[in-house]
Structure formats: structure tokens, C-alpha cells
Structure 1
């Protein structure tokens, strides 16, 4: 490289600077051209003559002594002009390829800075630099120099070899880039395989840990103690001791006494069982109701014995059918004997709570018993005990309650004529509000007193839990034995349909 070329290279700081310098020289060269139309016409004429040059060669052979020298000189000039255009075309083609290759070279040098890549890029830069120096020099030459170099340095000899070298080196770099990408993919695949193996090892460890946890859980579950056990008979007995001190006979004893008194009256008076056909359809609808229901049976004072026998008979029928039933029968006061003390409304509710705990014994738990016992100690009013009674009833799916209201002979002014119906209707509504599915069938039987006045039924006609009040006819005792047998048969039919049991009369 001579000093002039070295100086032009040293002025540039990068390959882009050299390319810009050559592009500027090309612009100056193109702007300096004059008579572009004449040059275009001359170029077309030269191409046409050159295209038909073979024909002219054949014609010259007829008289070579006259035409050969002139035709040869003319052809020489035409080839010189064509070489000049070929040089311009080769330079433009080479500059375009170099401009497209430089960005890829920079990216390849950054992504794959290997030794082979650096060497290939250096070789390519050398050929590009060589081509750019030649192009820059050509654009700065004069017309006479262009004409001379068109003959002495045709484009095929001076530029085509460099362009081919640049293309070959570019292909080598592209091949190295592809190989580098494949190598990176291989490394990535190896890393993915390693990660997959690590994940599989972690999954195996997790499965092992899961099996250990399951085994530990099975071993630990055997050591857990359920503190909320079912109530034992001893625990239930301790709870019931708090409720037995009420001035009423024990429920089973009261039922036996009522049944015994019924038999004695029938034997002494030699009468047939009373006729209850007026009550049977109402009792059937009351028993078949799918929700809690309250029925009131009101008789006269003259029929008090028939009403007592009705209460005891219904309890006996339900017991024989296996239905859970609770009752309050008027069979004498006192715990084990007669007493002048009459039970209060609170005593009656305690009496029902006592029976409800016995019915719910199989479903009660220690936590349930603890909650109930705590409420026992704080209960003072009828409302408190009714709330306790409703909570105990939630432990059973269905229960029947039969109450002889005359057991608590309260005057209408003490608690109100509608106290008992209102109390049970309130329990039904509260259980429905809490979503309890328990069905409670309550029968209130009264005769002769001022309790359960007719005004209550008129005030509560809108309640879906209240069945119409049933009034006993003036004469409930019949002289026809077939009517008594008919009532017993109807009662056994109801019990058989509801509970699947066959009862004998």
C-alpha cells in the first residue's frame, strides 16, 4: 500500500467512515457529469454496435485490406466505453453488497466472538477495505485516466475478484453464525435436560415426603383423642338430676297411672271406649304434616275423663309405633307421691326438657351437654327455659309432644290465655329461622278451664304451624262398641302408615 492509500485509510476511524467517504466521492463524480442525454445515447449506440459486432466481423472478411483497420479502431473505442460502464456498474454493485453486509458483520461479532469468527471478519474487512480504496481512487480520477484504465484495468480484472472474495467471506461468516446458533441450541438442550432431570428428582423427593406425611398422619391420627364424645349414661344421669326436682310424677309413672285409671273407670262404670271419630281426621292431617304443627283439642268439663283418656291413649299409640314422644299428663303431683304444691309453667318446661334430653341421648355430645348445663344455671324465666327446650329439640329429626294443659291450672291473668300456643309457635319460628329440619308435632288438650280461649285462634289464623282448634261434641261417650273399635283401628292405621309398624288393638 502506497503512502496515498495509507493516508486515506488512516483518516477513517471505522469501516463505516470509509464507506461514507467512497459514497461521497461517488456522489461528486455523478454530479460532475455533463450532457447526460448525450452519454445515454452514446451508451445505447455502443451496445447496439457491440451486439451486432459479429456480423460486422463477417463483413470485414470480404475486404480486409480496406475495412479491417477502421473497424478494429472503432471497435476498440466502443469496448473502451463499455468497460467504463462496466466499471461503474461493478463499483455500484460492490458498494451495495458491502452496505448490506456490514450490519450482519457487527451483529455476528457481538453474538459469536470466537477466534474463527474474528479471523473471518478480519479477512472480510481487509477485502472490503481494499475494494473501497480502489473505488475511492477511481471516483477521484480524471476522464483521461478513466479512459486509460478502462483499457488497462477492466472491471473483470480489477473489481470482480474482490467482489467474489467479499461474497465468499460473507458466506463463511454466515456459516459460522449458523454453527454458533446450533451450538447454543445444543447447550440450551443440555441445560433443559439437566433441569428436567432436576425437576424429576424433586418430584421423586416430593412423593417420598408426601408418603412420609401420610404415614405420619395415619400414626398421629391414632393418637388423637376426640374430646367431644357421646354422652354416657352416667353423664346423662348427672344432668337429669338437676331437672327431676319438679312437682310432677316421673313421665313413665304418670302414663301408667293414667292408663290404670282409664281401665278402672271402664271396669267400674262398665262402659265402652268413647267415640273419637270426630277427632281422627284432624289427627291424621296433624301427624302427616311435613312441618312442625300445633293442634288444640278443647273439651267440656263434663268430658274431662274422656280428654284424659285421649291424652294417655295417644301417647300409648305413638309409643307402640316407635315414634319419639314426650308428654305431660295430669296424674297427680309430687315426686313419687301426692303433694299440695302445684307445678308452675317453668316446672312444666323443665319437665319437657328432661324428656327431650332422654330422647336426644344418642345424638348428644359432651360439648352439647356443657352448653346446656351452662344455660341451666342462668335460666330464670319461662323464655329462658323455652329457649333451652328448643335447642334440645334440634338434636332429633321428629318428635311428638302431648300436653294436658290442665296440669298447670293457671288463671288467664297470670301468664295469658295464649301462653302455651304462643310459646310453641315461637319455638317453631326460631327453629325455621336457624334452618333446623326438626319436625315438632304438639298437641294441647284442655277441658273446662279458661286456658286457651277462642280469641287466640282468631289472632293466629295466619300461622302455618297452627292447625284449626278441634272442639269435642257435647256427648263424647257412645253406647255403640263399634265406634270405639273404629277409632282404635283408625289410630293403628295412622301409626302403621307413618312408622311401618303393625299394632294390635
Structure 2
């Protein structure tokens, strides 16, 4: 009901405002109301004064607007003033004399009664002449005053016409212009007469008889136009008052709406803050869940840590059953260079014939040492002989193992846009694994990467170009890491008879040979002199 009542009130206000606006708003687009009124006034002059001299003077005139006609009248007045300038003193003397004689005319009237048959006739003729002179002066004054008043009325009317372009203003203005044109015609006619004609006109057609009515009509219609303008301004003021009142109502509604919104926002602030806290608390859990899915997608068939423990167990059993051997000093020296070198570096260790056990032992010792130092180290070791697990022999699988390890020990390298499980599951080719390796590992400040891949080298032994492309890949990764300011330390153990072709790849290249065989006569003696293993005695400086 309230909404229906509000709708009815709005409709009533709209109708009321439309009625008010009809009193002052223009009926159409902008129009030259003054020109239309002037044309209508000429038609009225022609209709009401058909055949008269005044109508012909107006219709045949050159003026196209009321101001043009006014200019013609003023020009005629100036011409009259210029011609009358020489007679000004005489006319002024005659006018003053006539005024004095007329002033004492009552005395002369009494004297004229003694000889009425003669004196009255002469005095009456003289009095008529004197009144004509006085009326001539009055006509000049009235014409001048009327022209000034008409000029003021026309200026005020022009402003009113421009402000309110309505039909009633146009009609009132046309009637005003009609009488103004009529007076202008009379004024032009009087100014253009000869001095004798103006004298006779002043005597026989004085101002009150011929001109006063026209001037009074001009004043009347000027006041009428002013009254209409005042009424229209009152209507416009009323419309403005309604507009301001409606704006105040809208302002109050907006203020109330804003207060309601602020109140709702204040009430929701606590809920929003609680939700924000909950979401903030959920983010680590969500991140852990996503990370677990990513690690599950990257999980290798053989766990690197299981491989390391198995290899360490084999190495320990081997050490317990054999005599100690001399440590390869050149390898230890190269390892020290690799550890101490600033930035990224690639250490290629060529494993000689029958030096595989020593290489496995050396690899496990390096990994164990780095882990004790709590340094970032990841590795990929070949599975022990006799392992039942089958692996796919490809570079992509190697990089997959390394990526899985680095995300396990330092998951912070993953950025928010990287938590896309489908992206990791969709990787198939070696090139995609290389791109992912670059993306993740170049975010590490420092990391040691150990790769002992006897199985992979055996599987590609017949592939002549495989070893060079494999090592060139890690050489490129090392160079890129150096340019980016990372410290990635690669240790790659090469196997096979073709390792001699890689001497030009890597920052450090060393050969690990089979330890020398101890003679049987010395085995028993040396067995009682076992001490710490050589790698522990000669550790590189980290």
C-alpha cells in the first residue's frame, strides 16, 4: 500500500510540475519571438489602419525589426534638431513670452470685457497663437520623453521575450509593437513636416488629442508584459522550489541508504574478518594437500632414499670384508676444487674399468657428508644389481627424480601459479621435464646435485651421441645458473668405454680408476691395521 501511495504521489507531482512549466517553458525549440511579434504588429497596423498615411509609412518602411524603425525615428529627430538649432533662441524667447502672457491671461480677460466686441476677438486670436507656441514646445518635450520611455520599454521587453518564449508573451509583444510602430509613424510624420505644418499641427492637433492615447497604450502593454513576466517568474520559482524539495527528499533517501549500507558493512565486517582468518588458516593446509598430490604425481618407481640406504649397506659390507685401499688423491683434489669454486660448476667424474664399486662408495660418502653438513643435496643413484624394480631409461625420468627430491626438501620454490596438479601430470617429453627443471631449480640459491647412473649409461652404451647430448644438457644448465647468480653444483659419474670423449665437457673432469691390487703376502698384515676409511680422513673443505 505504501508503494502504491508513493507511486500516486509521484504521478500527481509530475502532472503538477508539467502544468507549472507550461506557464513559463517554451512551447517548442528556440524561436525569435521578437521578430514574430514585429511581423504580427505590422499585420495589425495594416488591418486596423488600412489606407491611412500611418499604415503606409510603416508598411513601406525599410526596417525589418522594431529597432530598425526606432533608428529611423531617431534619425528624423536628429535631422529636426539640426534644422531647428538656428531658431532655438527665437523659439525659446517666444515660448517664454507666450507662457507669461498666458499666465496673466485672466487679467486680460477682465480688461477685454469692457470692449468685448473688439478686444475679445483680437485677444482670442492672440491667445490661440500663444497656445499654439506653447503646445509646440510641449509636443517636442513629449516626443522626447516618449522616445526615451519607448526605448526603455523595448529593452525590457526584449529581455522578457528571450527569457520566456511563450505565445502569450508573443501576443502581448505584438500589441505593444503595434502601438510603438503607430507612434513612430506619427513621430516621423511630425518631424518631417515643414515649420508651418508643425505649427498648425501643434495648434489644431495637440498632444492630448492625437498622441497621448498611443503613448498610454504603449505604457499599458509594457506593464502588461512586465506583469506576465513576473507571473512566469513566480511559476518558475515555484517549480524550482518543488525541484529543491524533491532533491532534498532524494538526498535523505540516499543518506538513509548509505547509512543502511554502512550498517550492513559494519555487521559483515566481523564475519568477513573471520572468513579471512579461516581462509588464511586453510591456505597452508590447502598448500600441503596440493603439494602432496604433486609429489604423488612425481613419485619415482624407486625411492632415492631407499636406493641410498641399500647402497650404503652394500658399501659397508664391502668395507668390512676387504682391506683398506689407498684413496685416489687426484679425485679428492678435484672434489675440493668443486666444493670451493664459487657459483655453479659441473664436475664430470669418468669411472674407469672395474672402478664401479669405488665410484658407488665415493658417491655415498659424498652424499652422507653433505647431509651431515645440512646442505641442500639431491641425488639419483642407479639401483643395486639384482633389484627387481624396473626403470625407464631416459633423461626425463632422471630429471623427474631430481624434481621430486627438491620439492620434498624445499617446497617453498613453488609459486602460487605452480600449484597445478594437472600441469605436472601432463608432462611426457624430455623437453618438458627440462623446462620444468629450469623453472624450479633456478629459484634455488645453492644446491648439490649428485648423479650416479650406471644403469642409464649401460642402456645407452651403443648410442654414440647420447652421452655428449646428456652432458651438454647439464653444461647448459650450469651456464644458465651461473648467469642468473645461482650456485648449482652438478656431479655426474660417467661409465663406459666412450668416456674419453667427454674431456672437453664440464668445468672439472677427473678419472676414477680401479684401486691397485694388494699382494696376498700383505693382505693378512694390513688387515690388522685397518683404520678410518680414506674419505673420512681426507675430507674436502666445505
TM-score by structure 2 length? Answer: 0.54
Separation (CA, whole Å) in 1 of partners of 2:250 and 2:87: 73
Provide the rounded CA distance (Å) in 1 between the counterparts of 2:246 and 2:494: 89
Deviations 1:376-420 (A, max 9, x none): xxx5xxxx2463365367456435321125452343644433132
CA distance in 1, matches of 2:473, 2:158: 96
Counterpart selection for 1:147 from 196, 199, 206: 199
Farther-moved stretch of structure 1 (206-215 vs 148-157): 206-215
CA contact (8 A) 2:449 2:488 kept: yes
Q: CA deviation at 1:333?
A: 2.4
Residue of structure 2 equivalent to 1:464:
none
Counterpart mapping for 1:397-476 below 5 A:
397-398=443-444, 399-407=447-455, 408-409=457-458, 410-411=460-461, 413-424=463-474, 441-446=489-494, 449-451=497-499, 453-454=501-502, 456-457=504-505, 468-471=507-510
Deviation at 1:167, TM superposition (A): 5.3
SS in structure 1 at match of 2:165: helix
* Paired residues of 1:326 and 1:356 also in contact (CA < 8 A): no
Contact 1:403 1:444 in 2 (8 A): yes
- Using a 3 Å threshold, how does the CA distance of structure 1 residues 443 and 358 change in structure 2: closer, same or farther? closer
Query: 1:63-86, CA deviations, whole angstroms, 9 ceiling, x for partnerless residues?
Result: xxxxxx9x9999878656544544
TM superposition shift of 1:455:
6.1
- Tell me what 2:397 maps to: 350
Q: 2:301 aligns with which of 229, 232, 244?
A: 244
Residue 495 of structure 1 corresponds to which residue in structure 2?
none
Q: 177-186 or 423-432: which moved more?
A: 423-432
C-alpha distance in 2 between matches for 1:40 and 1:274 = 140
Gaps of 5+ in 2: 1-43, 63-68, 102-122, 517-531
1:325 paired to 2:377:
yes
Cα-to-partner distance string for 1:227-283 (whole Å, 9 max, x where unaligned): 987558996797577x4269x994332452465268548x83275795734432433
Shift of 1:424: 3.4
| Distance in 2 of aligned mates of 1:344 and 1:8 | 116
CA distance in 1, matches of 2:85, 2:70: 22
Q: What does residue range 48-447 of structure 1 map to in structure 2 within 5 Å?
A: 49=93, 79=134, 82-83=137-138, 85-86=140-141, 89-90=144-145, 92-93=147-148, 96-97=151-152, 99-100=154-155, 103-104=158-159, 106-107=161-162, 110-111=165-166, 131=183, 135=187, 146-151=198-203, 155=207, 163=215, 166=218, 170=222, 173-174=225-226, 177=229, 180-181=232-233, 183-185=235-237, 187-195=239-247, 197-198=249-250, 201=253, 205=257, 211=264, 230-231=288-289, 239=297, 243-244=300-301, 250-257=306-313, 260=316, 264=320, 268-269=323-324, 276-285=332-341, 288-289=343-344, 294-298=346-350, 307-329=359-381, 332-335=384-387, 345-346=393-394, 349-350=396-397, 352-354=399-401, 356-361=403-408, 368-375=420-427, 379=428, 384-385=429-430, 387-388=432-433, 390-391=435-436, 394=439, 397-398=443-444, 399-407=447-455, 408-409=457-458, 410-411=460-461, 413-424=463-474, 441-446=489-494
2:341 alignment partner, SS class: helix
Higher mean alpha-carbon deviation, 159-168 vs 355-364, is at 159-168
- Conserved? CA contact 1:356–1:393, under 8 Å: no
**Closer, same or farther: CA 475–156 of 1 in aligned 2, 3 Å:** farther
Tell me the equivalent position of 1:462: none
CA pair 423-333 structure 1, distance change in 2 beyond 3 A = farther
> Pick from 466, 485, 490: which aligns with 2:541?
490
Change (3 A) 1:208 1:154: same
Contact 1:296 1:444 in 2 (8 A): yes
The change in CA–CA distance for 1:153 and 1:317 in structure 2 (over 3 A counts) is farther
2:295/2:404 contact within 8 Å kept: no
TM-score, L = length of structure 1:
0.57
How far off is 1:201 after superposition? 2.9
Distance apart, 1:456 and its partner CA:
4.8
Does the Cα contact within 8 Å between 1:245 and 1:335 map onto a contact in 2?
A: no
CA distance in 2, matches of 1:273, 1:28: 129
Asked if 1 retains the 8 angstrom alpha-carbon contact of 2:450 and 2:490, the reply is: yes
Q: Tell me if the contact between 1:402 and 1:443 (Cα under 8 Å) persists in the aligned partners.
A: yes
Using the alignment, how far apart are the partners of 2:430 and 2:287 within structure 1? 25
CA distance in 2, matches of 1:456, 1:147: 135
Take 1:353 and 1:7, find their aligned partners in 2: how far apart are those partners? Answer: 108
Provide the C-alpha distance between the structure 2 equivalents of 1:367 and 1:345, rounded to a whole number of angstroms. Answer: 28
